[in-house]
Amino acid sequence: MNHHPHDEADDSTEHHGHTEQEQSDASEASTLHHRRIRSFVTRAGRVSVGQQRAIDELGTRFVVPYAPQLADWDALFGRQAPRVLEIGFGMGATTAEIAAARPGDDFIGVEVHEPGVGALLKLIGEQGLGNIRILEHDAVEVLEHMIAPESLDGVHIYFPDPWHKARHHKRRLIQPKFVAQLVTRIKPGGYIHLATDWQNYAEQMLEVLSAEPALENTAEGYAPRPDFRPVTKFERRGLRLGHGVWDLMFRRR
Q: Binding site residues for S-adenosyl-L-methionine, as ranges?
A: 86, 111, 138, 161
Decide if residue 39 touches ligand SAM (CB under 6 A): yes
Decide if residue 161 touches ligand SAM (CB under 6 A): yes
Phi, psi of 248 (to 5 degrees): -130, 135
How many residues bind to ligand SAM according to rule CB under 6 A? 23
Decide if residue 110 touches ligand SAM (CB under 6 A): yes
Binding residues for substrate: 165, 197, 232-235
| First and final C-alpha spacing in the chain | 35
Decide if residue 1 touches ligand SAM (CB under 6 A): yes
Query: Which residue in the set 24, 40, 191, 247 belongs to the binding site for ligand SAM (CB under 6 A)?
Result: 40
Q: Which is nearer to ligand SAM, 83 or 113 (CB)?
A: 113
Spatial distance between the Cα atoms of 82 and 91, rounded to a whole number of angstroms:
23
Decide if residue 89 touches ligand SAM (CB under 6 A): yes
Q: Which of residues 212-241 bind ligand SAM (CB under 6 A)?
A: 232
Query: Which residue in the set 115, 116, 190, 238 belongs to the binding site for ligand SAM (CB under 6 A)?
Result: 116
Query: Which residue in the set 158, 163, 198, 222 belongs to the binding site for ligand SAM (CB under 6 A)?
Result: 158
Binding residues: 86, 111, 138, 161, 165, 197, 232-235
Spatial distance between the Cα atoms of 243 and 235, rounded to a whole number of angstroms:
9
| Contact present, 182 and 215 (Cβ < 8 Å) | no
Decide if residue 198 touches ligand SAM (CB under 6 A): no
User: Is 161 labeled as catalytic in the residue annotation?
Assistant: yes
Decide if residue 115 touches ligand SAM (CB under 6 A): no
Phi, psi of 194 (to 5 degrees): -120, 150
Decide if residue 114 touches ligand SAM (CB under 6 A): no
Spatial distance between the Cα atoms of 161 and 170, rounded to a whole number of angstroms:
12
Decide if residue 138 touches ligand SAM (CB under 6 A): yes
**Least distance (Å) between residue 188 CB and ligand SAM:** 25
Decide if residue 140 touches ligand SAM (CB under 6 A): yes
Report which residue type is found at 41: V
User: Which segment (6-14, 22-30, 83-91, 186-194) binds ligand SAM by CB under 6 A?
Assistant: 83-91
Spatial distance between the Cα atoms of 181 and 73, rounded to a whole number of angstroms:
19
| Contact present, 31 and 37 (Cβ < 8 Å) | yes
Give me the numbers of helices (H) and strands (E) for the chain, helices first please.
Answer: 9, 9
Spatial distance between the Cα atoms of 4 and 170, rounded to a whole number of angstroms:
20
Question: Could you say which DSSP state residue 217 is in?
Answer: E
Contacts 24+ apart (CB under 8 A), 19-23: 20/164, 20/165, 20/168, 23/168
User: Which positions touch ligand SAM (CB under 6 A)?
Assistant: 1, 4, 39-40, 87-90, 94, 110-113, 116, 138-140, 158-161, 173, 232
